[in-house]
Structures are given as structure tokens and as C-alpha cells.
Amino acid sequence: MSAYTPIQKQTTSGSLTIATTAYTAGDQAGAQNTVSAIGAASGQVLVNDISLADASARIAAHELRFFSASVTGAGDNNAVSFSDADNAKRQGPVIYASSIITDSLNSSVDYAFKPFVATCDASGNLYFYCILRAVPVSSFFSAVGDLIWTIGAFRIS
């Protein structure tokens, strides 16, 4: 019989475009994100919820593509593209319609509840990319670390 241990991990965006060239729908937003030690080495996790805090309230419709190993994306602000070998490691996606709650500090929060089982790498990590499905407000972000994801999961053992 399997045991399920709850765990919560947080990761912050990196390398978001904060000026000059505007994003377009279909672009990769930022660099690859690593969810460190969310599972056991080469083990499985049940990802059951993901929340996004957007410090500048600029994110629009987007998806997260999870992978069981580190893969090479197209680079920030480029049309998304993954090799066939990298797509074979895909574990998602998680789709967000838009940021739905905006507070008085000009930030927003969004939630996704689409449980899926993912396999971790030899260090117990998962990886994901943020893919824009719509153009962010003002066409780019305020700071490279504007997006903070919290991933709730259960380690399966």
C-alpha cells in the first residue's frame, strides 16, 4: 500500500523580460523553474494544487509545462519550442485562464486545481516552464522575480 506525505514547495520566476521587446502569445516567460526536492529520488508525486502570486498583476492566460528532468526551452520571450526528446519527459500541463484576484497592492493571485502524477528526477526535482497564452498587461513584467508559484503535492512512497 502506498503512503502519501504532504509537501509544499515554492519557486520564483527568473529572467522575465522587464523592458524593451514585448511578449506575444505562445512565448516562454522566464527561464526553466525548478521545484527542488518535491519528491523522493526518481519517485512520484501527486501534484494537487498550484497557486501563483504575481507581484505586478501583469500575467495573463498561461500554462505551466512540467517535466521529469531538466530540459532546454526556447529562452525567455521566444516562441515555445521543445525537442522530441524533451517532450518525452513532459508531465503536465497545468492551464491558467487568467489572474483572477487582484488586491489593493496591485498584485494578483491565481489557483489551479488539476491533479496529476509526476515522476521526479534522481534528485527528487520537477521542472516547469511558463508559456504565455495571452500578452501580459503592459507587454512585459515589472521585475524578473514577479511570479511566485507554490506547489502543493503528496510524495508517493
Residue-wise pLDDT for 67-83, tens only, equals 999 999 999 999 999 99
Grid coordinates representing 73?
Answer: 526551452
- Does pTM surpass 0.85? yes
Query: Can you give the CATH number for the domain in which 50 is found?
Result: 2.60.120
pLDDT at 52: 87
User: Can you give the residue range of the structural domain that contains 89?
Assistant: 4-156
Tell me how many domains the chain contains. 1
What is d(CA 9, CA 153) in angstroms, rounded to the nearest whole number? 8
What is d(CA 43, CA 33) in angstroms, rounded to the nearest whole number? 19
Instruction: Judge whether 53 and 103 are in contact, CB under 8 Å.
Output: no
> How much is the average pLDDT of 104-133?
86
Confidence bin at 113 (pLDDT 50/70/90) = confident
Sign, Cα dihedral of 85, 48, 44, 33: positive
Q: Amino acid identity, residue 142?
A: S
